[in-house]
Amino acid sequence: MWIDFLLGGININYISNLIIPLMVLVVIFYGVVKKINVYETFLEGATSSISMVKTLFPTFLAMMLGVNILIDSGFLNFILGLIKPLFVMLNIPQEILPLAAIRPISGTATLAILNSIYEIHGPDSMVGLLASTMQGATDTTFYVITLYFGSIGIKKIRYSLFAGLCADLIGIIASIIVVKCLF
C-alpha cells in the first residue's frame, strides 16, 4: 500500500518487468562508453559457455538420475521412517523431516516443501520458523559438489562430500536447538 503511494499509483509489476531489459541496456551503454565491441564480447562468452555446458552436462545428468532413483525407490521414505521416532521422542515437528532429508540434494525441491509448510502452518509458526532456519543453515551439498567439482574436473569427492554432509547435519541440529531456545 505504501509502495503504491510512493510510486504514485504505478503498477509494481510493470516496474519489475522492466528491470532486466534496463540492466541489459545499462551494460550495453557501459560497453559503448568504454569502446568495447559488446556484440563480439557477447558472442565470445556464449561460445565459451557452450563448452562449459558440454563439460558439466554429464555430471548434472548423473546427479539427477541418482536423485530420482533415491526418491522413486522409496529409500528416502524408509530413512524418514527410521528417523521419525527420534523426532517424536525429542518433540521436534515431523513436518520438517522431508526438508531436512532433501535439502542436501535439491534446493528447488526444498523451496517447494518450505512453501507447503508456510501454506499449512504459516511462516510464523514453530514449524515455519524451524523450516526457515533450517533452509538458511544448510546447503545443497550434492548440487554444489556436482557444479563446482565437475566444472574443474575433480573426480575424488569423498572427503568433501563427507564434510559437506556433516556441515548439513550440524546445520539441521543447530537450527533445531536455536529455534527451540529462542521461540
Q: Which residues constitute the domain of residue 141? A: 55-182
Closest by CA to 182, choosing from 126, 131, 132, is 126
Inform me whether the pLDDT recorded for 175 exceeds 80: yes
Residue 125 contacts residue 163 (beta carbons within 8 Å): no
- On whether residue 14 sits in a domain, the answer given is no
- pLDDT tens figures, 105-136: 888 889 989 999 999 999 999 999 999 999 99
Rounded CA separation 140/65 (Å): 16
Answer yes or no: pTM beyond 0.85: no
- pLDDT tens figures, 162-171: 999 999 999 9
- On whether residue 123 sits in a domain, the answer given is yes
Inform me whether the pLDDT recorded for 146 exceeds 70: yes
| 3-state DSSP assignment of residue 146 | helix
- On whether residue 176 sits in a domain, the answer given is yes
pLDDT value for 31? 92
| 3-state DSSP assignment of residue 125 | coil
User: What is the number of domains present in the chain?
Assistant: 1
Inform me whether the pLDDT recorded for 71 exceeds 80: no
pLDDT value for 99? 92
pLDDT class of 23 with cuts at 50, 70, 90: very high
Chain centre distance of CA 64:
15
- On whether residue 148 sits in a domain, the answer given is yes
Burial class (CB in 10 A: 0-12, 13-18, 19+), 161: middle
Lowest mean pLDDT among 27-31, 41-45, 69-73: 69-73
